[in-house]
């Protein structure tokens, strides 16, 4: 039986850093509130780059790490909720930039759980076909949709991209399980309506005078999402451990979506494990939605934190509502 394994990781973060103090100059917030309530210290902002640019750079970094050429890639999936265009997909534009001429490329929209959804899709395609190598990318330019007059969400998000190459071969280690699920009853809890086709064209009168407005914003019922996130993180870890007859002590690292340090501390407490088991970097990059897990994974890989045989769990949750987990033996 052939296994599917991570053979390379990569990331790209735009250069511009925006500190909490920078934000406090343009809205009623402060470094102390943001750090205490979220664990976020700063975020990156894409200025002249878009989602495709970030995704392409993360992909190049992952391909180098995997020692593969773009033409070796059979499947190229980008998880994003901030695409540069509705059409073409980010993935098709990345394919063109990389000259990944043999790949089938498409996007997946599952908000902050996007990377886990994309990983599951890529794994399924590799398992069910002759495809051998997949490039899975999470790329987001959240700051382009933020309303910097809405402190409730403006302080939370940042831009970035992470990528991973997975490959099918006679591997013993690798992806052991991936679980994804949605609960549309919570669809209204996190919304980004700016690009949505649900909004009527903004014509004011019969003369067809177009009224431009700035509708970009991210709305979140923070407390409700907080409750959902803590509950789902704990149950996803318990479920995947039980299914594979493992104990939390068998897990080297949990790599969670980087939404809020308090969510992670709560989950660690409930699971009776040190918070150090949960890898975090939201202090530096804030919440980069679908990019947060692959960025963290690459950082851990680059730091040499992952050794052959280590069990790790990836945990995603977010808008949709969407959630998912993956058990990987490195």
> E-assigned strands of 284-321?
311-318
Which residue among the candidates 20, 257, 298, 301 is catalytic per the annotation?
257
Task: Please tell me which residue in 65, 133, 260, 287 is annotated as part of the active site.
Answer: 287
Residue pointed to by tokens 């949750």: 317
What letter does residue 129 receive in the DSSP assignment?
S
Selected catalytic residue, list 112, 133, 260, 311:
112
Q: How far is the CB of 57 from ligand UT7 (least distance, A)?
A: 23
Is the Cβ of residue 105 or residue 112 nearer to ligand UT7 in the bound state?
112
d(CA 118, CA 76): 9
* DSSP calls for 197-229: TTSPP-B-STT--B--------EE-HHHHHHHH
Please report how close the Cβ of residue 189 comes to ligand UT7 at its closest, in angstroms.
9
* 87 a catalytic residue: no
Closest to ligand UT7 by CB, 14 vs 318, is: 318
Q: Which is nearer to ligand UT7, 96 or 265 (CB)?
A: 265
**Of 135 and 190, CB closest to ligand UT7:** 190
Nearer to ligand UT7, 120 or 257 (CB): 257
Task: Return the bridge partners of 134, or none.
Answer: 75, 166
In the complex, the residues that contact ligand UT7 under the rule CB under 6 A are: 29, 33, 37-38, 112, 151-152, 155, 190, 222-223, 225-226, 229, 259-260, 263, 287, 318
Q: Is 257 a catalytic residue?
A: yes
Whole-number Å distance between alpha carbons of 316 and 254: 11
Q: Are 291 and 160 in contact (CB under 8 A)?
A: yes
What's the min distance (Å) between Cβ of 91 and ligand UT7?
Answer: 22
Rounded Cα gap, residues 243 and 239, in angstroms? 6
Question: Is 112 tagged catalytic?
Answer: yes
Distances (CA, A) of 149 to 145, 157, 202, 222: 12, 14, 22, 17
Identify the burial level of 197 via C-beta atoms within 10 angstroms of its C-beta, where 0-12 means exposed, 13-18 middle and 19 or more buried: exposed
* CB 163 to ligand UT7: min, Å: 20
Q: Smallest gap, in angstroms, from Cβ of residue 184 to ligand UT7?
A: 16
Position with the least CB separation from ligand UT7: 222
Active-site residues, by number, are 112, 257, 287
């Amino acid at each position: 039986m052939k296994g599917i394994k991570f053979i390379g990781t990569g990331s790209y973060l735009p250069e511009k850093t925006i500190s909490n103090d920078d934000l406090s100059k343009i809205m009623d917030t402060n470094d102390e509130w943001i750090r205490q309530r979220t664990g976020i210290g700063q975020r990156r902002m894409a200025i002249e780059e878009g989602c495709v640019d970030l995704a392409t750079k993360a992909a190049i970094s992952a391909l180098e790490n995997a020692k593969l050429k773009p033409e070796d890639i059979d499947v190229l999936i980008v998880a994003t909720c901030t695409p540069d265009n509705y059409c073409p997909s980010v993935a098709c534009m990345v394919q063109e930039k990389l000259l990944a001429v043999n790949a089938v490329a498409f996007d997946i929209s599952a908000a902050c759980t996007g990377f886990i959804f994309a990983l599951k899709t890529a794994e399924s395609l590799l398992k069910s076909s002759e495809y051998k190598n997949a490039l899975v990318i999470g790329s987001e330019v959240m700051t382009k949709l933020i309303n910097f007059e809405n402190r409730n969400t403006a302080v939370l998000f940042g831009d970035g991209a992470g990528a991973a190459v997975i490959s099918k071969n006679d591997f013993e280690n690798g992806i052991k399980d991936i679980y994804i699920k949605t609960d549309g009853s919570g669809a209204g809890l996190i919304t980004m309506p700016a690009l949505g086709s649900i909004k009527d064209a903004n014509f004011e009168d019969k003369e067809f005078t177009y009224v431009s407005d700035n509708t970009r914003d991210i709305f979140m019922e923070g407390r409700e999402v907080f409750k959902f996130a803590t509950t789902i993180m704990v149950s996803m870890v318990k479920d995947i451990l039980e299914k594979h007859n493992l104990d939390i002590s068998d897990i080297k690292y949990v790599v969670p979506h980087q939404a809020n340090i308090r969510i992670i501390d709560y989950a660690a407490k409930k699971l009776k494990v040190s918070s150090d088991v949960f890898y975090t970097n939201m202090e530096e990059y804030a919440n980069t939605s679908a990019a947060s897990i692959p960025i963290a994974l690459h950082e851990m890989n680059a730091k040499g934190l992952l050794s052959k045989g280590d069990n790790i769990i990836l945990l995603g949750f977010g808008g949709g509502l969407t959630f998912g987990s993956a058990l990987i033996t490195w």
